[in-house]
């Protein structure tokens, strides 16, 4: 979930840069904003660890919280025992099926041989009946042995699926940072119960930040998403690169927080500029200057 907690940026200044030349770049002042990332507990339960305090930096993949996994671990052990048991039963069932197949083949061969004698009148009725009964019983025994093996194999598959789910649930009891940034909020404390998918902490992402500036209608035809920008930070000679990623399709009145008597009734368009911030120079709420490089009229 993303929230913008600071005021949006102001269209307050644009002037010429460089020495000479007819091309004028535009400068705007604004406030750096970041993206808040809600980090949920995929598995509910009691929190047993929250090693990071509010305001501390976190790295992507860092452990942020631990949900109690005792019950899940016990269930895992029970399922492992059940899997071992059913695996042993399957081994026995396979032996029994092989024996039943051998018995069936013998009974079938014997019956077919005796049936020929019976058809020739060389075998008493009683012996023929006994051979036929043995053959029929062997067929039933073979079918039942196959069904028993199939039942056990289905049970084994079910237990393995349960173990895979338990493995994921156990892994989900450990909550890691999805992005690098600053841990801004802890919604729960150690000992409290967290519901499944409930947000445990909030991380402010700072590796990429953004600024909004506001352009008048006549400026829009000279910029477009993908255009580059340059970010000037007070106290630093080095600038940072930026990129226009979004231009609002709707006009709005100049935001109240940047209102001046001259712009009170002006209609402007919000423009979002993303800024790569790998070294963490920029902090949320920091004022910066955004320099845009207008091109030829793009017919927007």
- The ranges assigned to domains in the chain are 26-40+203-292, 70-172
Q: pLDDT band for 256, please (50, 70, 90 cuts).
A: low
pLDDT at 24: 81
* CB-CB contact of 242 with 27 (8 Å): no
Query: Out of 10-19, 80-89, 240-249, which region has the weakest mean confidence (pLDDT)?
Result: 10-19
Q: pLDDT band for 265, please (50, 70, 90 cuts).
A: low
Mean pLDDT of the chain: 88
The tokens for 180 are 């690098």
Residues with Cβ within 8 Å of residue 137, at least 6 apart in sequence = 107
Distance, in Å, from the CA atom of 46 to the CA atom of 188, rounded to the nearest integer, reads 10
Distance, in Å, from the CA atom of 62 to the CA atom of 70, rounded to the nearest integer, reads 22
284: left (phi over 0), alpha (psi -120 to 50) or beta: beta
* CB-CB contact of 246 with 223 (8 Å): no
The tokens for 73 are 């671990």
- pTM over 0.85? The answer is no
pLDDT at 11 over 50: no
What is the per-residue pLDDT across 17-76, written as a single tens digit (0 to 9) for each? 333 334 588 999 899 999 999 999 999 999 999 999 999 999 999 999 999 999 999 999
Distance, in Å, from the CA atom of 47 to the CA atom of 63, rounded to the nearest integer, reads 13
Instruction: Please tell me if the domain spanning 26-40+203-292 has the same topology as the one spanning 70-172.
Output: no
**CATH fold for domain 26-40+203-292:** Elongation Factor Tu (Ef-tu); domain 3 (2.40.30)
Q: What top-level class would CATH report for the domain 70-172?
A: mainly alpha
Distance, in Å, from the CA atom of 50 to the CA atom of 200, rounded to the nearest integer, reads 9
* CB-CB contact of 12 with 28 (8 Å): yes
Q: Which residues of 54-89 are buried (b: 16+ CB within 10 A; e: fewer)?
A: eeeebeeeeebbbbbbeebeebbeebeebbeebeeb
* CB-CB contact of 145 with 97 (8 Å): yes
Q: CB-based burial of residue 286 (10 Å sphere; 0-12 exposed, 13-18 middle, 19+ buried)?
A: middle
Distance set, CA 58 to CA 137, 271, 273 (Å): 70, 30, 25
Residues with Cβ within 8 Å of residue 145, at least 6 apart in sequence = 93, 96, 97, 99, 100
Distance, in Å, from the CA atom of 69 to the CA atom of 168, rounded to the nearest integer, reads 12
């Amino acid at each position: 979930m993303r929230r913008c907690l600071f005021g949006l940026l102001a269209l307050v200044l644009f002037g010429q840069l460089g020495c000479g030349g007819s091309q004028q770049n535009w400068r705007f002042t604004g406030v750096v904003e970041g993206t808040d990332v809600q980090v949920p507990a995929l598995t509910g339960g009691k929190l047993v660890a929250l090693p990071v305090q509010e305001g501390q930096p976190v790295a992507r993949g860092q452990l942020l919280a631990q949900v109690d996994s005792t019950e899940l671990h016990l269930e895992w052990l029970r399922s492992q025992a059940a899997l071992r048991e059913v695996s042993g039963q399957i081994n026995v069932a396979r032996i029994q099926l092989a024996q039943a197949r051998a018995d069936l083949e013998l009974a079938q061969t014997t019956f077919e041989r005796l049936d020929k004698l019976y058809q020739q009148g060389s075998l008493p009725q009683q012996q023929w009946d006994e051979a036929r009964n043995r053959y029929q019983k062997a067929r039933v025994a073979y079918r039942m042995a196959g069904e028993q093996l199939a039942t056990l194999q289905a049970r084994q598959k079910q237990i393995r699926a349960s173990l895979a789910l338990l493995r994921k649930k156990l892994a989900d009891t450990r909550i890691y940072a999805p992005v690098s940034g600053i841990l801004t909020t802890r919604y729960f404390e150690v000992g409290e119960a967290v519901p499944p998918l409930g947000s445990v902490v909030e991380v402010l992402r700072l590796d990429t930040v953004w600024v909004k500036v506001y352009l008048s209608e006549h400026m829009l035809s000279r910029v477009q998403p993908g255009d580059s920008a340059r970010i000037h930070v007070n106290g630093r000679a080095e600038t940072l690169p930026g990129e226009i990623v979004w231009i609002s399709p709707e006009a709005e009145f100049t935001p109240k927080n940047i209102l001046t008597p001259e712009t009170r009734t002006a209609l402007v368009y919000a423009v979002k500029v993303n800024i790569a911030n790998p070294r963490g120079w920029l902090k949320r709420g920091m004022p910066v200057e955004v320099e845009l490089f207008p091109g030829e009229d793009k017919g927007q």
